[in-house]
Amino acid sequence: MSNWKIIRIFKRYRELDPKSVPQVMTGDEAHTVSLPLEKFEKMPELKENPFRNLFSHDGSGNMTFDDFLDMLSVFSESAPRDVKVYYAFKIYDYDDDHFISGKDIEQTTIALTKNQLCPEEIAVVREKVLEETDNDRDDKISFTEFQHVISRAPDFLSTFHVRI
C-alpha cells in the first residue's frame, strides 16, 4: 500500500475520534491506541459490514490503527486475490475450525440479512450453499472447496472491497 493511501486511511481513522487519536502517531500507538466499535459503526463505508470483528485484535470490534489498516488493506481494490480469498474464508468461518459448517452459513446469513429471515428460510440457504459447494459431501466447506467456488465468481474481486 502506498504512503499516500496509508496517510489517507490514518486521516480517516483520526476523524473518528480526534480527541483519542494523536495527530502524529508512533509505532507503539498504532497498535495500542484503540477506538470503540461504536465509532466504526458510524462509518458509511463499514455500516453494512457485519464482519468488522475479524479485524479487531481482541475480537471485541474495537480497533487500533493497525487493525483498521489491516482491514482496509484486505478490502482494497489492489489487494491480491489470494489474500481476499483467505480473509473471505476467515470471515465465514465463525467458529475458527478451518471449515465453513452449516452453523457458520446460518450465522453468515443472519448477519447479512440482519435477522430478517425465518429459521426455515435460513435452513434453505444453508442447504443450498452446501449443495453447491460441498464437493465431498461432509457437510462442511473446506478452504479448497471455497477457493473453487470463488474461482467461479467473476465479480468477487470487484465486490469484496471498501473504498475510503
- For residues 36 and 88, membership in a common domain is answered with no
Q: Half-sphere exposure of residue 132, counting CA atoms within 13 Å on the CB side?
A: 12
Residue 124, domain extent: 81-154
The per-residue pLDDT string of the chain (164 residues; one tens digit each, 9 = 90 and over) reads: 789 999 999 999 999 999 999 999 998 999 999 999 889 888 887 766 666 677 888 888 899 999 999 999 998 888 999 999 999 999 899 899 999 999 999 999 998 888 899 999 999 999 999 999 999 999 999 999 999 999 999 888 888 887 77
pTM of the model: 0.82
**Cβ atoms 133, 149 nearer than 8 A:** yes
Is position 38 within any domain? yes
69: three-class secondary structure by DSSP? helix
Is position 162 within any domain? no
Q: Measure CA 74 to chain center.
A: 8
**Cβ atoms 146, 100 nearer than 8 A:** yes
